[in-house]
Amino acid sequence: MLKDILFSTAAIRCLLPKALVRHYSLPIALLADLSLPEYTLTFPLRKVPVLFSLHQQHLSEVAAILFYLNSLASNRDNLVPADTTANSYFQVIRWLSFFTSEYVPALALCFKQLDGRLPYNRPQYDDSLSKIAVMSLMLEHHLLLHNGFLVEPNHITMADLFGASCALRGFNFFFDAAWRKDHPITTSWFLNVTSSPILKDDFAAFQFINKAHELAPQ
């Protein structure tokens, strides 16, 4: 049977969509081949994740894709509050938007310079590290004030799943032992959320770094 296609690579925004498709056994094919015409002709911006649909309008933008996948799973784990007029529903949208539009770009600007995907630019790198520091402090305070979760006390929502999956890049490159000591609540949240059933397989081999990567002078 022909299936809709989620084009998704190893890029960080793709981690949770792929995990949801697998966890809920959704009828969606996962493809990473971005040379297929379904991708090249439909998504000229060449971003991932995107969903090529046979039945409805195609989807880009990870937040929309996460909501869609969640609807196919019938919100089995209450990842998105059912009441679309409730504050917690708006909070989920808030955090998905924050992580995709503020947090990941700041991290990417740094780690892509470290692995050579972006050209060396020290001022931009330092500026982005400062933004990451501000966002990290903001998250730590938010989690402190909200019982260790982004939206609902003691309950993992889509916001926590997406936020923790995005934070992986921070923990891969920058959130070393000293950072973790200064951000204990964010660190516990990350471990808690990434060991939950939807994400645990992707994080089975995860290990903390001792020392943050640094940009070599050029």
Ligand X SMILES: N[C@@H](CCC(=O)N[C@@H](CS)C(=O)NCC(=O)O)C(=O)O
Tokens in use for 25? 């056994």
From residue 91 to residue 130, the character string flagging contacts with ligand X as x (rule: CB under 6 A) and all else as - is ---------x------------------------------
CA triplet 149, 95, 190: central angle to 5 degrees?
A: 40
> Cβ distance 28 to 4 under 8 Å?
yes
Residues in the chain: 218
Tokens in use for 128? 């982005």
The rounded distance, in Å, linking the Cα atoms of 15 and 162 is 8
The rounded distance, in Å, linking the Cα atoms of 173 and 166 is 12
Told to check if 156 binds ligand X by CB under 6 A, we report no
- Cα 216 to chain centroid, rounded: 27
List the one residue from 5, 48, 92, 164 that touches ligand X (CB under 6 A): 48
Judged by beta carbon, residue 46 or residue 141, the one nearer ligand X is: 46
From residue 52 to residue 91, the character string flagging contacts with ligand X as x (rule: CB under 6 A) and all else as - is ---------xx-----------------------------
Told to check if 20 binds ligand X by CB under 6 A, we report no
List the one residue from 4, 6, 13, 17 that touches ligand X (CB under 6 A): 13
The site for ligand X (CB under 6 A) is made up of 11-13, 46-48, 61-62, 100
